[in-house]
Amino acid sequence: MNECPSCGRQRQNSELKCPECGSYYSKLATIIAEQEAIEESRTFRGRCKRILSSENIKNELLTELNIIKSGLSKKSVFTLYLILAFVFALVLSVL
């Protein structure tokens, strides 16, 4: 690609971004868009979008929880269960 897709300025060999209009050359723009989509899917917001857009939300949520659980150590899982047990006990004592 020898010219900018937006403004038509001639590209120098080492340039990745057009100095006049600031747009990226097409191959690089595609790679950047793909990388941003991958990063978005790894964020909390991206995961929530994927779960809510699924046809079977329950299965997608369970899959996501299993992924999170597989990344935790046994000590972390035990700590989470212990915290949930204490919260459950506190709720029961208030009722």
Residue-level pLDDT at 50: 87
Query: In this structure, are 71 and 86 located in the same domain?
Result: yes
pLDDT in tens, 47-82: 888 899 999 999 999 999 898 889 899 999 899 999
CA-nearest of 60, 56, 4, 12 to 29 is: 4
The answer to whether residues 64 and 57 touch, using CB atoms and an 8 Å cutoff, is: no
Q: Which domain holds residue 35?
A: 1-42
Structural domains of the chain, count? 2
Query: In this structure, are 30 and 50 located in the same domain?
Result: no
Query: In this structure, are 35 and 49 located in the same domain?
Result: no
Residue-level pLDDT at 63: 92
Query: In this structure, are 32 and 49 located in the same domain?
Result: no
Distance CA 53, CA 1 (A): 37
pLDDT in tens, 18-51: 777 877 666 666 677 788 888 888 888 888 888 9
Residue-level pLDDT at 78: 94
